Amino acid sequence: MNQAAIDDLLGFLRFPSVSTQHDHAGDMRACAEWLRGRCEKAGLSARMEETGGCPCVVAETPKDSAKRTVLIYGHYDVQPPEPLEEWTTPPFEPDIRDGKIFARGATDNKGQILAHLLGVEQTLAEKGNLPVNVIFLIEGEEEIGSPNLGALTSKLKQELACDVIVISDTGMVVHGHPTLTFSLRGITSLEIRVSGPSHDLHSGVFGGAVANPATVVARLIASLHDEKGHVAVEGFYDDVRPMFDWEVQASEALPVREEDIRELSGVPELTGESGYSAIDRIGARPTAEVNGIGGGYQGEGTKTVLPKEAFAKLTFRLVPHQDPEEIQNLVMDHLKKHCPPGVHLEIIRGHHGEPYYTDPNSLYGHAARQALSRTFGKETALLREGGSIPILGTFQQILGAEVLLLALASPDCRAHSPNENFPLENFEAGIRLNQAVLEEIGNLPR
């Protein structure tokens, strides 16, 4: 592919734009300024929008009311690169090996959003205009939960009004396979803190007479699932609809084997809720997970304490029609009901994110599938993904537009991990995908 495009990406990747680390505030701004300039160079009218946090870059074509408007969303901030010692080459000194660019942010999300920008630039250069109006909205706080993007979207609601939203921040089901993600799980989180004794007790002097907070936390966690892996919280599945027949068929047609998932995760064997395939347990079924647990003595060897407290951090991934707040309430009721006497139970409510679902058989879904199939030369896979992108709910609510999730990440891209990478062929395909999807949307009957 063309060296200028690669050099652009290398330059973009050299900014250590880590949004969660305050000492990178200057790098964030420099990266946003570079991006704004690159949008201008591509032929767009671009500016910075202050948010109170890291700035957003907004770049757009002139509005032609005869054309549809496509909002392309992405982010220039990246996850922290630590642990640094696990990187083969430094995270902010991009290196090309085996046809892949290795750097923090290579896939998530600099490589993907730049591909869209270069696609737009190339079409403008070749044809002088685009088949649709385009607005780029590229934020700098995605990795910290987009705390300011909702307010900015509301503020710019008129300007950001669009027919459809295009995002490339999801993964291909297998490397090189066109993938339209039509569903994402929602999330609700909470933390439980169980306390009993006023101080860590001697487990001999008191053990037997008092409840052990670590045991209580363990029993509460154990109460969340039955023997078959179903979530045992009363009412948890009430709003979960069965999969549609076409969803089952689409899932079965996915070119992914359970062995691929097992290899990627590194577990000795896949397990989970009985009655569903692994891919459906991830994409189409809700879960209850422990993200962290702690209490008592965690050092080397033995310390015979009966700990004064223990905690667990829990998240529940949710599927369409489950309401995050309602599920959180059901879980809280369940935990209170199952908590034994002799301890105090504190439950700290955490954040929510709505499940996302769009019909891949809609007009825009069809355009996206066409564009993906044309770009990659294969039938587009329709995927329900297990992750969550809470901002989609905000977009749907404020802008009222459908979202198309067009995958450009490979399954082994190591986003959020050391040695994150982006294959050059994905980068090149991303440029073509942008051109194809804008063309397909532009060609839709009005």
The CA-based dihedral angle spanning residues 139, 145, 146, 148, taken in that order and rounded to the nearest 10 degrees: -140
Q: For 78, which DSSP code?
A: B
CA distance 9 to 322: 40
Query: Buried b vs exposed e over 377-388: b needs ≥16 C-beta within 10 Å?
Result: eeebbbbbbbbb
Q: How far is the CB of 341 from a copy of itself (least distance, A)?
A: 5
Per CB under 8 A, which of residues 279..298 are in contact with a copy of itself? 279, 281-282, 285, 287, 289-298
Q: Which stretch binds a copy of itself (CB under 8 A): 103-111, 158-166, 180-188, 435-443?
A: 180-188
Q: At what angle do helices 324-338 and 213-222 cross, to 10 degrees?
A: 130
Candidates 232-240, 265-273, 397-405, 437-445: pick the segment binding a copy of itself (CB under 8 A).
265-273
Could you tell me where the beta strands, DSSP code E, fall in 363-441? 381-384, 402-406, 421-423
Q: Which of residues 137-176 bind a copy of itself (CB under 8 A)?
A: 171
Q: What token pair was written down for 86?
A: 């696990």
Point out which span in 42-50, 122-130, 267-275, 434-442 binds a copy of itself (CB under 8 A): 267-275
Query: Of 201-240, which residues contact a copy of itself (CB under 8 A)?
Result: 201-212, 214-215, 217-219, 221-225
Smallest gap from residue 161 Cβ to a copy of itself (A): 30
Strand partners, 315: 189, 289
Q: Does 352 bind a copy of itself (CB under 8 A)?
A: no
How many residues sit in the footprint of a copy of itself (CB under 8 A)?
A: 84
Q: Are 4 and 12 in contact (CB under 8 A)?
A: no
The single residue among 108, 385, 402, 440 that binds a copy of itself, judged by CB under 8 A, is 385
Q: How far apart are CA 247 and CA 348, in angstroms?
A: 36
Nearest approach, Cβ of residue 171 and a copy of itself (Å): 8
Given the complex with a copy of itself, which of 118 and 310 has the nearer CB atom? Answer: 310
Q: How far is the CB of 199 from a copy of itself (least distance, A)?
A: 7
The Cα 444–Cα 162 span in angstroms is 15
Nearest CA among 253, 250, 258 for reference residue 279: 258
In whole angstroms, give the CA distance from residue 381 to residue 113.
21
User: Does residue 268 bind a copy of itself (CB under 8 A)?
Assistant: yes
265 part of the interface to a copy of itself, by CB under 8 A: yes
Element (H, E) at 30: helix 25-41
CB nearer a copy of itself, residue 246 or residue 297 = 297
The site string for a copy of itself over 296-315 (x = CB under 8 A, - otherwise) reads xxxx--xxxxxxx-x-xx-x
CB of 214 to a copy of itself, least distance (A): 4
